[in-house]
Amino acid sequence: MSNSIKGPFIVTGACGQLGSHVIENLLAQGAEPLVAMTRTPEKLESLRARGVDVRAGDFNDPATLGAAFAGGGRLLIISTDDLEPGKRLAAHRNAIAAAREAGVSHIVYTSLTNPDEDNPIGFAVDHRETEALIEQTGIPHTILRNCLYADLLLMSGQQAIGAGALYAAAGDGKAGYATRADCARAAAAALLSETGSTLRDITGPEAVGHAEIAAILSEVAGKDIPYVPITRDALVEAMKEHGLPEFMANVFSSFDVAIAQGNLDVASDDVEQLTGQKPQSVRDFLMANKAALLGQA
């Protein structure tokens, strides 16, 4: 951490999986003062006991954000996960306005790989518009364009092993899957070190396709798990049969469409540049989580 970078360091969504990982990274690096913002502060009493300033705040309730961001400093805005059309962007708009009002000196935002107009992912527009809102503030910022989490492959991989095949609508496309742990390390590093305004692609060391993922799953399972390409419509129907509402099935299936179109075929060295450590590969991640893939954990 550069001695010239001063806090407080504010992490939103601190109860979430990514936010909690970021907090632990910051604590390990001695970042202080450290602020954890959450809608449920009662869940973070253990952090408060470790010297973290736990504050209540909700992007959907602007009245709570003044106190949450009081004192300014460097702010990590972790994108909300609301899939309802328009709600995520409205929440982000509230957070950005409050950050400007509080005198925040640097904003770090967790965005999406290539959130351009041709990206078919259902919420790409929310990230695209949020990036624009942050830029319009004039506040120095770091945009972290996180690719799909490799962690998502644990669920689909376990299902594939159980079904005897990996079904997806991703065609021959590839994605630069990044582990949630690497995304957290990158976010913490950006909060502690980035200056000016930068755009970072947060990915694994290489982009991989479903045929490669199926080959790894075959090794894990000790049996052949072929990749079987299917249509998006078929994927949506399968998701609905497993209990997902149609609008959610449409959003999740749009990941596969984006992979097929090449929107997520990105691999960069930004994680290593930020953290000094190479990101974990999909293969290493899946092999390290063999028990989970086999339903043993």
pLDDT in tens, 93-144: 999 999 999 999 999 999 999 999 999 999 999 999 999 999 999 999 999 9
Q: Quick one: average pLDDT of 236-252? A: 92
Does 3 have pLDDT greater than 60?
no
Residue 123 confidence (pLDDT): 94
Q: Could you give the C-alpha distances from 1 to 23, 150, 190, in angstroms and in order?
A: 15, 27, 10
Main-chain phi, psi angles of 61, to 5 degrees: -130, 85
Q: Cα dist. 294→34, 102, 180, 216 in Å?
A: 38, 48, 20, 13
Residue 105's pLDDT is what? Answer: 97
Residue 209 is predicted with a pLDDT of 98
Please give the average per-residue pLDDT across 182-201, as a whole number.
Answer: 97
**How long is the chain?**
297
pLDDT bin (cut points 50, 70, 90) of residue 67 is very high
Taking the alpha carbons of 296, 248, 284, 174 in that order, is the dihedral positive or negative? Answer: positive
Answer yes or no: is pLDDT of 203 > 60: yes
CA distance 233 to 183: 31
pLDDT digits (tens, 9 = 90+) for 13-42: 999 999 999 999 999 999 999 999 999 999
Residue 83 pLDDT level (bands cut at 50, 70, 90) = confident
Residue 82: what pLDDT?
A: 84
Looking at residue 289, its amino acid is N
Band the pLDDT of 1: cuts 50, 70, 90.
Answer: very low
Domain 9-146+178-203+266-279 fold: Rossmann fold (3.40.50)
2 pLDDT exceeds 90? no
What integer is the mean pLDDT of 172-192? Answer: 98
Provide the pLDDT for residue 6.
Answer: 85
pLDDT tens by residue, 209-229 = 999 999 999 999 999 999 999
Q: Using alpha carbons, select from 192, 189, 178 the residue that is nearest to residue 268.
A: 178
Whether this prediction's pTM lies above 0.85 is answered by yes
Q: What are phi and psi of 29, to 5 degrees?
A: -100, 10
**Reduced to 3 states, what is the DSSP secondary structure of residue 11?**
strand
Q: How far is CA 62 from CA 142, 177, 255, in A?
A: 23, 34, 31
The 10 Å Cβ neighbour count of residue 265 is: 19
